[in-house]
Amino acid sequence: MALLRPAALVTLMSAAAGGGRGRRAPPGGLQSPSLSSSAPPQPLIAAKQPFPVELKAGKKYGWCACGHSKSQPFCDGTHKTAAPGISPLRFTPEKDGTAWLCGCKRTRCPPYCDGTHKDEAVQGARLPAQP
């Protein structure tokens, strides 16, 4: 087995980590991945219960995923300024009828409520001020 010199080892490890595509490791060692200081945006809890809404089959809807919309549970575009990293969920129901759309924005089956709003973290949360 051949021994590699430190510079060759750095080049080899950098290439294995994806650094061999035109990027060079800085003198003295490998580049470390940059860590973002900001966390991804989190949705605001708009309500502590779901919204019952009448949906029409084949119609396109935009469910507010950020929690900032004044037209809950639907998107009014507020995410563009209030939560730019969160987009609405576009969906088209297959049948007419009442649906329970998530108001806490924590559901595991968006846009529909799955009962997550019953969790202590949601029930104990502060709601945004109402105009």
pLDDT in tens, 29-40: 444 444 555 777
Answering whether pTM is above 0.75, one says: no
Q: Is 85 domain-assigned?
A: yes
Whether the predicted pLDDT of 82 surpasses 70 = yes
Enclosing domain of residue 73: 51-123
User: What b/e sequence results for 105-120 when a residue is b if at least 16 CB atoms lie within 10 Å of its CB, and e otherwise?
Assistant: bbbeeebebeebbeee
Cα–Cα distance list, 73 to 9, 16, 94, 101 (Å): 55, 46, 19, 7
Residue 13 lies in a domain: no
Percent of the chain with pLDDT over 70: 69
Least confident of 31-35, 71-75, 108-112: 31-35
Share of the chain above pLDDT 90, in %: 63
- Domains: count for the chain: 1
Residue 36 lies in a domain: no
